[in-house]
Amino acid sequence: MFRKPVSRRDMLRLAGASGVGLLLGGSGAFGIMAATGATKQPASDKPGSPDNVTTGIPDANRYDFYGQHQSGITTPSQNFMCFASFDLTVSDAAGLKSLLQAWTRASASLMAGELLDGQNENLNLPPADTGEAAGLTPSRITITFGAGPSLFDHRFGLAGKKPAGFGDLPPFNGDNLMPEWCGGDLGVQICADDMQVAFHGMRNLIRIARGSAVLRWSQEGFQRSTESDPNKATPRNLMGFKDGTANPSVQDAAMMNEVVWVQPEDGAGWMTGGSYMAVRRIRMRIEVWDRSSLSDQENTFGRYRVSGAPLGSQHEFDRGDMEAKDASGKPVIPMNSHMRVARGDGKMQILRRPYSYSSGMDNTTGQLDAGLFFISYQRSLEKQFIPMQQRLAQIDALNEYIQHIGSATFACFPGVRQGGYIGDTLL
């Protein structure tokens, strides 16, 4: 019986039917070919430019990939975020290095607003770039990479370079962590003012990783857009309260060195100029919160909902009087309010960079699966984030309305110099 020959298009269709896992984990040669093609380099390194802003280029929507520190940390938060955690499938340091070099070349092009490998003109090959960002501005896209604790196991010979005290976060009171939202060998945070630009960046990094890494989990996030809030006020979370008021100023270089950037004396010299990232996926019990009185909500946060000011104060950035009492002798700012517990003695700070998320409906409960995708950067997880979260987990009034279901930590590499690649100080 005559059999119709299987065309190349049929083969590709059959391969696609086998699922995303095969697409990401397969060893197809095109994944390496697309990753290693020549790309144009953006403007030269400007170490003196804050947040790696490319100078001398008219496009104000563009950041430079190269610089002393990675962008996306002290960079002003963009409108949208795509986060992905990867597990490596390569088994040696050479394979890891090859992936990081390919990601570096791609990221430099993506942040410059260029299509990968320039023009997609070869009709006999799949396009080198997925194309959905063609014609769009860079939209202030930033791409930030970090290494998870599991990267320092036996596979890559890096156990001796694992920073002291760096590991998964310890269990906290009230945690309900789900494995599908935890951990990973490598973490990638992509932020941009356009969701299609951010997704385009993540999609192409996933394609480049084919044969080297598989996607472990991912999350998209959002906040109010700059178009909807031209005053650039502190963003509000899905509970309606301002989130990030207490952040240290990213314009204060000395403060950033104290709070965010790893210093030479901290050990693990390859991390100097980098930062430690804490990630928590926090589900909000929105339906319960929406039935709570305004008074209960404000007492929970310790702030006024409209102004964001501490209770008893007038302005958002007032410090708040922790000694003030009401007519009955009770503290004006409740002892278990989120603001008071998070502040502690006031000596411990972190740089928060959270985004709201909404993943539709929880099919088990029929309620919204929405909340806060919390990201923070700090010089030390042990000395900053962990003690703060331990306090919050014990007595924070907000715990009645939230549940931590995801957790991860990443050692975010220092910035990349021209001619180098992400992670070259480690490898």
Distance CA 392, CA 341 (A): 6
- Residue 411: alpha-carbon gap to chain centroid: 12
As given in the structure block, the two tokens for residue 35 are 């990753």
Containing structural domain, residue 301: 59-156+163-412
Q: What is the pLDDT of residues 28-45, one digit of tens each?
A: 333 333 333 333 333 333
Classify residue 167: in a domain, yes or no: yes
Classify residue 13: in a domain, yes or no: no
Cβ distance 181 to 217 under 8 Å?
A: yes
Q: What is the pLDDT of residues 373-409, one digit of tens each?
A: 999 999 999 999 999 999 999 999 999 999 999 999 9
Q: How far, in Å, are 61, 88, 97, 115, 281 from residue 68 at the CA level?
A: 20, 27, 20, 25, 29
Cβ distance 201 to 192 under 8 Å?
A: yes
How sure is the predictor about 126, in pLDDT bands with cuts at 50, 70 and 90?
confident
Cβ distance 103 to 96 under 8 Å?
A: no
Domain count, the chain: 1
- The radius of gyration of the chain from alpha carbons, rounded to an integer in Å, stands at 23
Classify residue 33: in a domain, yes or no: no
Classify residue 51: in a domain, yes or no: no
Predicted confidence at residue 231, as pLDDT, reads: 84
Cβ distance 29 to 37 under 8 Å?
A: no
Say yes or no to pLDDT of 325 above 60. yes
Residue of higher predicted confidence among 188 and 36: 188
Say yes or no to pLDDT of 346 above 90. no
Classify residue 19: in a domain, yes or no: no
* Run of H or E including 378: strand 368-378
Classify residue 68: in a domain, yes or no: yes
Classify residue 26: in a domain, yes or no: no
Classify residue 11: in a domain, yes or no: no
- The residue-averaged pLDDT of 405-417 equals 98
